C-alpha cells in the first residue's frame, strides 16, 4: 500500500498540510476533492519528493518502506508516479525519447527499440494521440488537453504501482475526458492504486472511486463513499464542512 501517516508539509516555513493520513491499497482508487488552495497539489508534490516542499512531521511509505526523504527518481523506481497539474515544456527532447529514457531509468534496463515503439504506438492509439506527436518536443506547443493526454500516455507506458493524478481532467473537452477516463480504468487493477485529485465531479462520471476525501485548508475534513460527490454537486464544499466533525 501507499501509506500517508499524519503528514505535515511546509513551503517557505509556512505549514500548508496539517496531518494528512490516507492509506491507498492496491486495487483501489481514492479521490481527493476540494476547492482551489486547499492543499491538494501540495500533497501531490510532497508525495513525489519535490524539493520545494518540506515534510515537517509524519511519514510516507510504499509497501511498508518509508520514503519520506527519498529522492524523486528513487520514488519512481519504487513504483510511484505523478501526473502533474502544470507540466513543463522540454525543448529538444522528443516524446518518444523522453518515454524511452524514463522507462530505462526506472527499470534500469535497455529497451528494445522495435518493441518499445510498437508499444508506444499502441498506447498512443488508445488515447487518440496523433503518431506524429512522438516526434515532437515534450509539451512544446501542446494545448492543455494534449498535455494531459501525454501525461496519461506516460502512465500507461511506465505502469507504476501507485499513480497520483493531479487534476488530470483539467483542460479536457468531453470527448477527451471519456478517452482519458477509459485509459485510467484500463490502468486500474489488483496490482495498482490510484490517487485522483480534482475539484470537479465531471471525471467521476466515468471512473468509480472506492473512497472520496474532501480537503480544506490543508486537512482532510471528511471521507466517505460516492455520496460525498452528490453532496458537493448539490450544495458545494461548504455543506460537507458543516457536516464534518472537525
Which whole-number Å values give the CA distances from 65 to 76, 78, 96, 158, in the listed order?
14, 9, 32, 21
pLDDT at 239 over 80: no
**Contact residues for 115 (Cβ-Cβ < 8 A; gap 6+):** none
Cβ 34 vs Cβ 244: under 8 Å = no
Q: What is the pLDDT of residues 184-202, one digit of tens each?
A: 999 999 999 999 998 778 8
**Contact residues for 58 (Cβ-Cβ < 8 A; gap 6+):** 4, 5, 6, 7, 8, 19, 20, 21, 68
Specify the 3-state DSSP secondary structure of 226.
Answer: coil
What CA–CA distance (Å, rounded) separates 111 from 114?
9
Domain count, the chain: 1
pLDDT at 244 over 80: no
Residue range 23-34: mean pLDDT, rounded: 95
- Can you give the residue range of the structural domain that contains 87? 2-243
**Contact residues for 236 (Cβ-Cβ < 8 A; gap 6+):** none
The more confidently predicted of residues 2 and 245 is 2
Q: What is the pLDDT of residues 148-188, one digit of tens each?
A: 999 999 999 999 999 999 988 887 888 889 999 999 999 99
Cβ 5 vs Cβ 61: under 8 Å = yes
| Structure confidence at residue 151 (pLDDT) | 94
Share of the chain above pLDDT 70, in %: 96
Q: Which residue has the cell 472520496?
A: 212
DSSP of 84-145: -SSPPPEEEEEHHHHHHHHHHHHH-SPPPHHHHHHHHHHHHHHTT--GGGGGSEETTT--HH
What CA–CA distance (Å, rounded) separates 234 from 163?
29
Q: How far apart are the first and last CA of the chain?
A: 27
What CA–CA distance (Å, rounded) separates 16 from 166?
17
Strand-strand pairing, 162-166 and 137-138: unpaired
Share of the chain above pLDDT 90, in %: 75
| Structure confidence at residue 240 (pLDDT) | 66
pLDDT at 212 over 70: yes
| Structure confidence at residue 159 (pLDDT) | 95
Q: What is the pLDDT of residues 121-146, one digit of tens each?
A: 999 999 999 999 999 999 999 998 89
Q: How confident is the model at residue 246 (pLDDT cuts 50, 70, 90)?
A: very low
190: domain CATH number is 3.40.50.300
Q: Which of 123, 141, 19, 125 is CA-nearest to residue 87?
A: 141
Output the CA torsion 60→157→150→2 (10° steps).
-10
Q: What is the pLDDT of residues 40-57, one digit of tens each?
A: 999 999 999 999 999 999
Q: How confident is the model at residue 75 (pLDDT cuts 50, 70, 90)?
A: very high
**Residue-averaged pLDDT of the chain:** 92
Amino acid at each position: 500500500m501507499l501509506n500517508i501517516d499524519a503528514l505535515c508539509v511546509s513551503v517557505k516555513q509556512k505549514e500548508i498540510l496539517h496531518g494528512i493520513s490516507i492509506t491507498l491499497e492496491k486495487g483501489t482508487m481514492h479521490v481527493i476533492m476540494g476547492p482551489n488552495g486547499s492543499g491538494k497539489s501540495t500533497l501531490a508534490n510532497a508525495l513525489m519528493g519535490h524539493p520545494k516542499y518540506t515534510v515537517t512531521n509524519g511519514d510516507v511509505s510504499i509497501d511498508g518502506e518509508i520514503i519520506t526523504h527519498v529522492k524523486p527518481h528513487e520514488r519512481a523506481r519504487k513504483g510511484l508516479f505523478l501526473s502533474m497539474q502544470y507540466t513543463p515544456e522540454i525543448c529538444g527532447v522528443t516524446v518518444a525519447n523522453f518515454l524511452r529514457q524514463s522507462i530505462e531509468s526506472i527499470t534500469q534496463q535497455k529497451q528494445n527499440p522495435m518493441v518499445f515503439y510498437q508499444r508506444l504506438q499502441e498506447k498512443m492509439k488508445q488515447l487518440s494521440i496523433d503518431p506524429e506527436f512522438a516526434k515532437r518536443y515534450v509539451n512544446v506547443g501542446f494545448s492543455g488537453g494534449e498535455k494531459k493526454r501525454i501525461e496519461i500516455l506516460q502512465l500507461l507506458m511506465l505502469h507504476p504501482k501507485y499513480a497520483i493524478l493531479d487534476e488530470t481532467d483539467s483542460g479536457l473537452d468531453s470527448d477527451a475526458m471519456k478517452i482519458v477516463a477509459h485509459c485510467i480504468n484500463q490502468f486500474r487493477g489488483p496490482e495498482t492504486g490510484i490517487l485522483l485529485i480534482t475539484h470537479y465531479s465531471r471525471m467521476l462520471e466515468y471512473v468509480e472511486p472506492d473512497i472520496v476525501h474532501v480537503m480544506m485548508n490543508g486537512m482532510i475534513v471528511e471521507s466517505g463513499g460516492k455520496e460525498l460527490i452528490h453532496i458537493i454537486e448539490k450544495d458545494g464544499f461548504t455543506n460537507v464542512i458543516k457536516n464534518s466533525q472537525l
